[in-house]
């Protein structure tokens, strides 16, 4: 994790410094700004990144992330910059042009808005030099494996263990733990690799996630921490969440608030955490997928994985980065993704059991109540449920909603809850006419 900012012109070091100042949360231990013949490029970093990253920027290449599968790069060329983003979109990268037509780039939108409102998101698996967009990787359907399910489960387990191994580093790592299947797998695998593992859960008093997370932490012998918040504390943090998240998408904000709070708590103990993000998309963990025909399931999973970059992965990145930590995505390691896409759909949804093959691969690793736990949305498991929707209903009249729901770019806000978030977003970023860079959750409810 690092903050990248660049302008394809010279003598703009002060402006690049201002852009980096907007992203000090992405790296405050050191900073380097490099002026080339036609460019000014800067990078914020952490001490744990300094040797590798400093060498990179000295040669005109700024990079965010060194973990396999997570990287955004900006390289100085003879004509400006060449950008590249990882295949899944775990690391963010945006670009645009100033009113004078100067190419510029940044890790977050808030930094880019200092120089332009012409904001574009670099798509995952793409390279861009300011003129030509080149796709070097594309998620697509794979030929299914012919192996027996027990063989598939063993190989999947091996790859998951390897993905966690790559991220252990010096052992100063913890795990966000909701008590759901995916985060529990990451925590259990990490616990085997470190002397001490800190786990972190968040929710309102009595939230199901707090109960399950505590059970899982006890089972693996982790040092467990709970961030229990009341309604007022939850609502008070929304402006911070929306500022770092850079979105007003209702379901994304709703899920990000608890993620932001647990990330803040974790930052007091560890420099990096494991996240279970990606497990539901790879292994068919969502309830609605039961209604999709087996023949269409593989294509649907590809579609929702492609949408991760500016929804769920944006939540994970911004929640962790806001507090100066790194979130490791064990399920989205390239070797795990490649294998998961080749697992036949019939083993992902088997006799009505979501993520069946994943459960089989870790059946010896988790207690029964965790292994068999059904998927719960982040805000449901955290005890939030309809709290935010009800609060928005009390704050926004139906007349206000009808008057304000259409945005300058033509989008229609789906609910009063989304309008509540948009009002906060507008106060922080202004009324932007172009929001094409912003993701919106598939299947979001409509008023």
- Residues in Cβ contact with 271 at an 8 Å cutoff, skipping those fewer than 6 apart: 46, 48, 172, 173, 325, 326
Max Cα distance, the chain (Å): 64
**254 with 379: CB under 8 angstroms?**
yes
Q: What is the mean pLDDT of the chain?
A: 91
Please determine, for residue 54, whether its predicted confidence score (pLDDT) is greater than 60. Answer: no
- Phi, psi (rounded to 5 degrees) for 96: -175, -175
Whole-number CA gyration radius for the chain:
22
The pLDDT tens digits for 125-155 are 999 999 999 999 999 999 999 999 999 999 9
pLDDT band at residue 55 using 50, 70 and 90 as cut-offs: very low
Query: Running DSSP on this structure, what letter comes out for residue 275?
Result: E
**122 with 321: CB under 8 angstroms?**
no
Instruction: Scan for tokens 């390239």, then name that residue.
Output: 334
Using CA atoms, how far apart are residues 92 and 195, in angstroms rounded to an integer? 32
Q: At 361, is the secondary structure helix, strand, or coil?
A: helix
**425 with 251: CB under 8 angstroms?**
no
The pLDDT tens digits for 386-434 are 788 889 999 999 999 999 999 999 999 999 999 999 999 999 999 999 9
Percent of the chain having pLDDT more than 70? 93
Measured at the CA of 101, the angle between CA 95 and CA 104, to 5 degrees, comes to 25
Please determine, for residue 36, whether its predicted confidence score (pLDDT) is greater than 90. Answer: no
The crossing angle, in degrees rounded to 10, of helices 312-321 and 238-245 is 110
Instruction: Scan for tokens 């919106």, then name that residue.
Output: 440
In this predicted structure, what is the pLDDT of residue 252? Answer: 93
Query: Running DSSP on this structure, what letter comes out for residue 145?
Result: P
In this predicted structure, what is the pLDDT of residue 256? Answer: 93
The pLDDT tens digits for 243-259 are 999 999 998 998 899 99
In this predicted structure, what is the pLDDT of residue 443? Answer: 65
In this predicted structure, what is the pLDDT of residue 58? Answer: 55
In this predicted structure, what is the pLDDT of residue 51? Answer: 42
The pLDDT tens digits for 295-345 are 899 999 999 999 999 999 999 999 999 999 999 999 999 999 999 999 999
Using CA atoms, how far apart are residues 187 and 174, in angstroms rounded to an integer? 8
- Residues in Cβ contact with 79 at an 8 Å cutoff, skipping those fewer than 6 apart: 38, 129, 130
Is 3.40.50.620 the CATH number for 149-388? yes
Using CA atoms, how far apart are residues 331 and 334, in angstroms rounded to an integer? 9
- What homologous superfamily is domain 3-135 in, according to CATH? Aminohydrolase, N-terminal nucleophile (Ntn) domain (3.60.20.10)
The pLDDT tens digits for 211-232 are 999 999 999 999 999 989 888 8
In this predicted structure, what is the pLDDT of residue 45? Answer: 82
User: Residue 406: is it exposed, middle or buried by C-beta count within 10 angstroms (0-12/13-18/19+)?
Assistant: exposed
Beta strands at 120-121 and 198-203: parallel, antiparallel or unpaired: unpaired
Using CA atoms, how far apart are residues 105 and 110, in angstroms rounded to an integer? 11
Count the neighbouring beta carbons within 10 Å of the beta carbon of residue 10: 12
Both tokens of residue 263? 């990330």
In this predicted structure, what is the pLDDT of residue 205? Answer: 87
Count the neighbouring beta carbons within 10 Å of the beta carbon of residue 24: 12
Please give the C-alpha separations between residue 244 and each of 78, 248, 257, 314, in angstroms, as whole numbers. 34, 11, 11, 10
Using CA atoms, how far apart are residues 257 and 248, in angstroms rounded to an integer? 12
Spans of all domains in the chain: 3-135, 149-388
Measured at the CA of 68, the angle between CA 161 and CA 155, to 5 degrees, comes to 30
In this predicted structure, what is the pLDDT of residue 380? Answer: 59
- Phi, psi (rounded to 5 degrees) for 275: -125, 145
Residue with more model confidence, 120 or 255: 120
Give the range with max mean pLDDT: 24-38, 72-86, 182-196: 182-196
């Amino acid at each position: 994790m690092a903050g990248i900012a660049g302008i394809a012109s010279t003598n703009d070091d002060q402006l690049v410094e201002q852009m980096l100042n907007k992203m000090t949360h992405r790296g405050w231990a050191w900073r380097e700004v490099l002026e080339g013949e036609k460019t000014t490029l800067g990078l914020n970093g952490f001490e744990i990144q300094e040797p590798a990253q400093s060498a990179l920027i000295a040669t005109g290449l700024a990079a965010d992330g060194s973990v396999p599968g997570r990287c955004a790069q900006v390289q100085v060329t003879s004509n400006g910059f060449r950008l590249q983003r990882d295949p899944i979109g775990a690391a963010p990268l945006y670009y645009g042009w100033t009113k004078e037509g100067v190419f510029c780039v940044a890790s977050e939108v808030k930094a880019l808005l200092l120089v332009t409102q012409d904001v574009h998101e670099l798509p995952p698996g793409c390279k861009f030099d300011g003129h030509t967009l080149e796709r070097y990787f594309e998620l697509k359907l794979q030929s299914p494996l012919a192996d027996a399910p027990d063989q598939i489960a063993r190989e999947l387990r091996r790859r998951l263990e390897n993905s966690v191994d790559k991220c252990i580093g010096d052992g100063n790592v913890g795990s966000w733990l909701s008590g759901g299947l995916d985060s529990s797998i990451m925590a259990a695998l990490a616990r085997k690799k470190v002397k001490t593992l800190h786990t972190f859960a968040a929710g309102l008093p009595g939230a199901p996630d707090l109960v399950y997370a505590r059970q899982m932490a006890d089972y693996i012998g982790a040092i467990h921490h709970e961030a229990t918040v009341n309604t007022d504390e939850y609502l008070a943090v929304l402006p911070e969440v929306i500022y770092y998240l850079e979105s007003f998408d209702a379901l994304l904000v709703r899920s990000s608030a608890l993620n932001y709070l647990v990330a803040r708590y974790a930052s007091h103990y560890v420099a990096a955490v494991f996240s279970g993000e990606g497990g539901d998309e790879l292994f068919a963990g969502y309830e609605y997928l039961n209604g999709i025909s087996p023949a269409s399931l593989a294509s649907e999973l590809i579609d929702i994985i492609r949408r991760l970059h500016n929804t769920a992965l944006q939540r994970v990145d911004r929640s962790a980065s806001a507090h100066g930590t790194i979130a490791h995505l064990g399920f989205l390691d390239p070797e795990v993704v490649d294998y998961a896409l080749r697992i036949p759909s019939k083993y992902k949804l088997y006799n009505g059991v979501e993520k069946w093959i994943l459960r089989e691969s870790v059946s010896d690793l988790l207690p029964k109540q965790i292994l068999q736990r059904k998927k719960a949305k982040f805000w449901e498991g955290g005890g939030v449920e309809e709290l935010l929707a009800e609060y928005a209903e009390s704050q926004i009249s139906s007349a206000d909603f009808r008057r304000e729901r259409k945005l300058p770019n033509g989008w229609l806000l789906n609910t009063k809850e989304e309008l509540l978030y948009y009002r906060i977003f507008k106060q922080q970023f202004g009324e932007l006419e172009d929001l094409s860079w912003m993701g919106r959750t598939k299947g979001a409810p409509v008023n």
